[in-house]
Structure 1
């Protein structure tokens, strides 16, 4: 950091004139930019002036960041004159601003306080890029809800770490922080009426999520998976992990976020995901024994008045800490088996003329919403709260992409919706090479919603669940650069967007993030497959979008380190070779390990068969497991003809598929198979494993090759999932042309 400040101090005598390309490096892209000729010279000491008293916190926020980022000495003054002037203007859209830079200095005129904050975000980016070109920027957000969610239950993040995150997100014009404060794995917010929630519920012995993190730290040679020592304590000889926020901590974080134009929405998840609550107080669960059911944990007992009273008291303390419109109730993934056996729940169903346990959950949600409304707040819940009916004031967070009608149902009744589908918004998923593009080009169901319904789309947010995110550095790695795409999706009108230009701007922003010490995900090494099959000779030709990244590799099975061979040009391969590649930052911090196997092989002989039917056959097994090899041992639920490798229509729940048939290749050659699935899958050809994608995972694609003789080859694809996954297989010939399923598959 000292060397960065020294470099910046050298540049302070006058920021160098920027090139034309450097003028468009902002993220999110502004709505309208008019460039002047010339550059403003930032002095070593500047005055940040404001007239309206409500802008004093904004001026202080800008001063803090200019000093921290660049070493500029900043004076904040209530005045009309200054090097940087912050003002309010009459403007219609909240968050809009006008930024003018000329020889007189920098002027930010906001439509409101948040507009000034958004203009400051632009200034912060320019300061990191060491350039203040003359410009007029007229800008406003596409959506009012530009959010990020952090789960602090599965793994805990300190007050300082949460504030660092908020400060960074403000630079990219995010304005909503959805804070997941409670779950089965830890209760993170002090409730004075129920002290055991944090005295016991905030601490745990290492669980399976911690064990996986520690195993990954070793297997992937990555210290970002180690559990931080400041999140541990020893009690009666046991090492416990955890932590929580006092109510004073909460107030300070809320004030810190407010200064940066960010509203905080607390989530207290109920009636499910509440194990850290029901484990520590009697009268909350259906039975005295609590734990895990077939899929999820023991929920609150909505049949007991004591449980309802407990939840209402929690909401009273929580709502008093957050001075904003919304709170989040969760409401997802509830194990209802206990309710079916519980006399109290069955009595509640009977007394309230409810049909079943699904309606009992809705009844509970409505009871809590009544309390929340009486406390002056509105309720948000995950889209499961649609089941059983929505009140007029509730809002959904749409996360289940496999339930595409959820938004249409909610908005057709006048309810608001926030988009956060797993396909783009679940940032705990591994970052695939196409994830940035998928976020950037996401369509907000424009063909499903009427103009009136679109008015109820509040915006979009990125969600980070932290089962396997134990450190701040790993948090940053999962958020960035994907949150840059989320920022532009939420802010910039579609007609101004261009993904090629966005990728160029991302490369510039990575330099800025590096200056700030952010441990971002280095863009994936591209250009190679998991397995490249060849019969004579092949070439390893890879690249990385990060201008700072150095690629190193090994071929002896060891992990690359800073002393390993540096990839500088394409490498010819004429024998079976197993590459392990890794990117490194200038400081020597290693990125993800990438394996690329080059396998020299002969052609698989074709089979002497003549299948007459096109397509494949799929057998669906009721499979709750996580290993493809075991699928066929589970009970058979049905057989389906399918035209392609896919999940047959109507197949859901516990899915175990065994897909069989033949693949017909037109000529001898090396064929490439791209198998993408959520969760696990494999592909065998003529009994040989070609693609092994057999693991629990978010959508992940493995690309492998196989040399095949012309003709028919037996194919088997296996796949498992339990909660709305996906399955796809694309096949390419030696020239890179994709083969059509109708000409490819037979049975």
Structure 2
């Protein structure tokens, strides 16, 4: 039945794509003929005072997107009519566009704003006309929490920049803005009782993240990675980076988001990630010496009453600024070595009959939660708040993919959970070819192993943006888009109405819309070429781009492609080794990412001599207790043992500090060029007969590297090396000479 529904939905979508192209996909769409023409003085009627802000927002949108000055009228008589109506699904709406007017009936204010988002997309895609195609849409969201997270501590974004992000959230029906306001690198919100938090804590001398951004800007020829001068000032001869929001500015942003149907969740991270406060107020840490440990900074001292009072004072001011039910306490990545040595912390452990420092952290979090609850709010925290015990009222944002059972633990206790796993929901990480699909289809993973009751406590999903190396709004939007479209549909659309290929076919219209809005989104990776492309006599460089409005330019001399470089107009033949650098350009001339594509002329690697009759299926995986960051060093670490492996994967039971050396033979059935796709988090390499074929050897988030090698039929020695300290991920796909994926059981022997 599900396949039939998908087929019907796809047929319907294909039939209306020229006129109606919506993300996220709605439940039901019926397309009419003709359109509703907007005219100067078009009236927007709102049936109740509660809907007036929505009408005012629509008025702004019509001016912004169609240059139409609309008039507001109270009541039910107008060209565009906003009404709430009983019997509509929670947060749902019914949109009916006719030639003589538009009706929006919604369950509530939130549903009204979602209908306006649909209306805005229809308007933006209508070839520049001040008109909307006639259509009837019935729709409602799958998840109540459709989140968009932004870290403004590592790099700061102005009020206007945050508002631009909020407008784009509203366009794609995202309704929770998780605002990460404080961290070690900067305190971004005014707290009147503690003015030093922003007078000093909001500013810093350039740190290693700032210098890294500038280095990346030069390496990638990308001005969007430069530190904006507007966020700097000179003091005593030093250039300081920073900025913060006054409480009046916070109220302004909260009101702006509220009008657009978006709730803001403030995060004040504690007891770790608190250095920007600890540096400026004495007595907040266990000892006077503070700073960075191996990985994290000095935390708050939960043994001191002064610390608890300090945090409660901050929360008291936060509560007055954010009128919604949730606040986020952070609670992640807490360094606990100082607690072990601190007399105050040890006394707190003893007095409260706690077992260890993990329970001390939990005790601190519970103290904050009790205060938060007392003030009529609910607490959220990263999944570390599970450690040491989870209270009955906390909501968890799960991010640690190496703790895969955390969501089941949370929901088994009847606590709510939001899925924002580091992979694939950390959109600050570089986008891969597989990223969009991984996000879009994540619902196939997120509810595994949960019973019906547990599933009710999965309240939504969220994309996270950590801005250590993202200093500008342009870079934020480049990282978010177009992946946020996949997240939007994951969060909104029911699974039985989702199909990735159909979604992907809708993207060109969405890209055109984003171009119109001057959103500097990332053009999806070019198809048709790899990092290393092998050929024996003649090769062809042939690429395709998912954005039909983008152009592709290239160089072969090692220089960065620019707007004057060779324009790609079709396949390019090569008969000698050639090193291409390709780059996409948006219609406004903005340069995108560069892609290196080496075309290497190769002879066929000769097979090794081995007695195939003595070989068995599979590979050998040697596990080393490795904590380094270079594949070539793995074998020097302590040896943990050998594991049989049927594929290039992390063997079951291998965790913690991982260094793998996977060896065996690769059997290829015929002479020709074979393709190898190696993905890992962190580093890896693939060698065949001692030759480096795929070099993915670096600390990184999940990254796929694809290369080719010309091989003669027969057996070839294979070696895959891999390292990771958090039990990440590893996989190798092999494709034959015709591009068909080969099965591990057919090709691996030992």
| TM-score bracket, shorter-length normalisation | over 0.9
Tell me, yes or no, if the aligned pair for 2:435 and 2:483 is still in contact at 8 Å. yes
Query: For 2:731, which of 718, 728, 733 is the aligned residue?
Result: 728
State how far apart, in whole Å, the 2-side matches of 1:503 and 1:666 are. Answer: 34
Cα displacement string for residues 506-565 of structure 1 (whole angstroms, at most 9, x for unaligned residues): 211111111111111112111111101111112111101112100111111111111111
- Give runs of aligned pairs for residues 63-74 of structure 1, distance below 5 A: 63-74=59-70
State how far apart, in whole Å, the 1-side matches of 2:284 and 2:625 are. Answer: 33
Count residues with an aligned counterpart.
Answer: 730
Aligned to 1:6: none
State how far apart, in whole Å, the 2-side matches of 1:343 and 1:711 are. Answer: 68
Aligned to 2:686: 683
DSSP 3-state at the match of 1:115: helix
Aligned to 2:20: 24
Q: CA deviation at 1:23?
A: 3.3
Query: For 1:629, which of 627, 632, 638 is the aligned residue?
Result: 632
Aligned to 2:462: 461
Aligned to 2:29: 33
Aligned to 2:8: none
- Give runs of aligned pairs for residues 561-572 of structure 1, distance below 5 A: 561-572=562-573
Tell me, yes or no, if the aligned pair for 2:265 and 2:324 is still in contact at 8 Å. yes
State how far apart, in whole Å, the 2-side matches of 1:740 and 1:100 are. Answer: 51
Say whether 1:123 aligns with 2:101. Answer: no
State how far apart, in whole Å, the 1-side matches of 2:729 and 2:100 are. Answer: 56
Say whether 1:501 aligns with 2:497. Answer: no
Aligned to 2:658: 655
Query: CA 1:608 to 1:504, structure 2 compared with 1: closer, same or farther past 3 Å?
Result: closer
Query: CA 1:310 to 1:634, structure 2 compared with 1: closer, same or farther past 3 Å?
Result: farther
DSSP 3-state at the match of 2:723: strand
Cα displacement string for residues 325-383 of structure 1 (whole angstroms, at most 9, x for unaligned residues): 00111111122222222222222222212111111111111111111111110011111
Of the structure 1 ranges 437-446 and 216-225, higher mean CA displacement relative to structure 2 is found in 437-446
Query: CA 1:666 to 1:156, structure 2 compared with 1: closer, same or farther past 3 Å?
Result: same
Cα displacement string for residues 94-149 of structure 1 (whole angstroms, at most 9, x for unaligned residues): 32111111132111112111111111111111111125222221111111111111
Query: For 1:643, which of 646, 663, 680 is the aligned residue?
Result: 646
Aligned to 2:547: 546
State how far apart, in whole Å, the 2-side matches of 1:98 and 1:231 are. Answer: 44
- Give runs of aligned pairs for residues 542-621 of structure 1, distance below 5 A: 542-610=543-611, 612-621=615-624
- Give runs of aligned pairs for residues 405-424 of structure 1, distance below 5 A: 405-424=405-424
Of the structure 1 ranges 729-738 and 54-63, higher mean CA displacement relative to structure 2 is found in 729-738
Cα displacement string for residues 580-615 of structure 1 (whole angstroms, at most 9, x for unaligned residues): 000001121110000110101112233234464543
Q: CA deviation at 1:19?
A: 8.5
State how far apart, in whole Å, the 1-side matches of 2:438 and 2:472 are. Answer: 26
Cα displacement string for residues 380-401 of structure 1 (whole angstroms, at most 9, x for unaligned residues): 1111212222211111111122
State how far apart, in whole Å, the 2-side matches of 1:409 and 1:594 are. Answer: 42
Aligned to 1:14: none
Tell me, yes or no, if the aligned pair for 2:20 and 2:122 is still in contact at 8 Å. no
Tell me, yes or no, if the aligned pair for 2:685 and 2:694 is still in contact at 8 Å. yes
State how far apart, in whole Å, the 2-side matches of 1:497 and 1:62 are. Answer: 29
State how far apart, in whole Å, the 2-side matches of 1:565 and 1:576 are. Answer: 18
Q: CA deviation at 1:92?
A: 5.0
Query: For 2:713, which of 710, 713, 727 is the aligned residue?
Result: 710
Of the structure 1 ranges 433-442 and 250-259, higher mean CA displacement relative to structure 2 is found in 433-442
State how far apart, in whole Å, the 1-side matches of 2:393 and 2:159 are. Answer: 32
Query: CA 1:168 to 1:203, structure 2 compared with 1: closer, same or farther past 3 Å?
Result: same
Say whether 1:44 aligns with 2:47. Answer: no
Q: CA deviation at 1:617?
A: 3.0
- Give runs of aligned pairs for residues 85-100 of structure 1, distance below 5 A: 85-100=81-96
Of the structure 1 ranges 635-644 and 261-270, higher mean CA displacement relative to structure 2 is found in 635-644
Aligned to 1:700: 703
Cα displacement string for residues 223-255 of structure 1 (whole angstroms, at most 9, x for unaligned residues): 110111111111111111111111111111001
State how far apart, in whole Å, the 2-side matches of 1:497 and 1:468 are. Answer: 33
State how far apart, in whole Å, the 2-side matches of 1:149 and 1:141 are. Answer: 19
State how far apart, in whole Å, the 2-side matches of 1:124 and 1:546 are. Answer: 21
Query: CA 1:287 to 1:620, structure 2 compared with 1: closer, same or farther past 3 Å?
Result: farther
DSSP 3-state at the match of 1:347: helix
DSSP 3-state at the match of 2:339: helix
Say whether 1:53 aligns with 2:49. Answer: yes
State how far apart, in whole Å, the 1-side matches of 2:725 and 2:87 are. Answer: 49
Query: CA 1:139 to 1:527, structure 2 compared with 1: closer, same or farther past 3 Å?
Result: same
- Give runs of aligned pairs for residues 143-542 of structure 1, distance below 5 A: 143-443=143-443, 445-542=446-543
Query: CA 1:26 to 1:738, structure 2 compared with 1: closer, same or farther past 3 Å?
Result: closer
DSSP 3-state at the match of 1:23: coil
State how far apart, in whole Å, the 1-side matches of 2:86 and 2:305 are. Answer: 51
State how far apart, in whole Å, the 2-side matches of 1:656 and 1:477 are. Answer: 34
Of the structure 1 ranges 498-507 and 221-230, higher mean CA displacement relative to structure 2 is found in 498-507
Tell me, yes or no, if the aligned pair for 1:626 and 1:695 is still in contact at 8 Å. yes
TM superposition outliers: structure 1 runs of 4+ over 6 Å:
none
State how far apart, in whole Å, the 2-side matches of 1:126 and 1:575 are. Answer: 49
Q: CA deviation at 1:207?
A: 1.5
Query: CA 1:614 to 1:297, structure 2 compared with 1: closer, same or farther past 3 Å?
Result: farther
TM-score for both structures, normalised by structure 1: 0.95
Tell me, yes or no, if the aligned pair for 2:16 and 2:31 is still in contact at 8 Å. no
State how far apart, in whole Å, the 2-side matches of 1:255 and 1:487 are. Answer: 23
For structure 1, the 5+ residue unaligned runs are 1-17
Q: CA deviation at 1:451?
A: 1.4
Tell me, yes or no, if the aligned pair for 1:94 and 1:114 is still in contact at 8 Å. no
DSSP 3-state at the match of 1:45: coil
Q: CA deviation at 1:686?
A: 2.3
For structure 2, the 5+ residue unaligned runs are 1-13
DSSP 3-state at the match of 2:70: strand
DSSP 3-state at the match of 1:22: coil
DSSP 3-state at the match of 1:313: helix
Query: CA 1:729 to 1:62, structure 2 compared with 1: closer, same or farther past 3 Å?
Result: same
DSSP 3-state at the match of 2:358: helix
DSSP 3-state at the match of 2:52: helix
Of the structure 1 ranges 543-552 and 268-277, higher mean CA displacement relative to structure 2 is found in 268-277
State how far apart, in whole Å, the 1-side matches of 2:600 and 2:501 are. Answer: 34
Q: CA deviation at 1:459?
A: 1.0
Aligned to 2:137: 137
Tell me, yes or no, if the aligned pair for 1:24 and 1:505 is still in contact at 8 Å. no
Tell me, yes or no, if the aligned pair for 2:301 and 2:307 is still in contact at 8 Å. yes
State how far apart, in whole Å, the 1-side matches of 2:369 and 2:727 are. Answer: 28
DSSP 3-state at the match of 2:721: strand
State how far apart, in whole Å, the 2-side matches of 1:222 and 1:392 are. Answer: 47
State how far apart, in whole Å, the 2-side matches of 1:452 and 1:19 are. Answer: 39
| Superposition CA RMSD, Å | 1.8
DSSP 3-state at the match of 2:384: helix
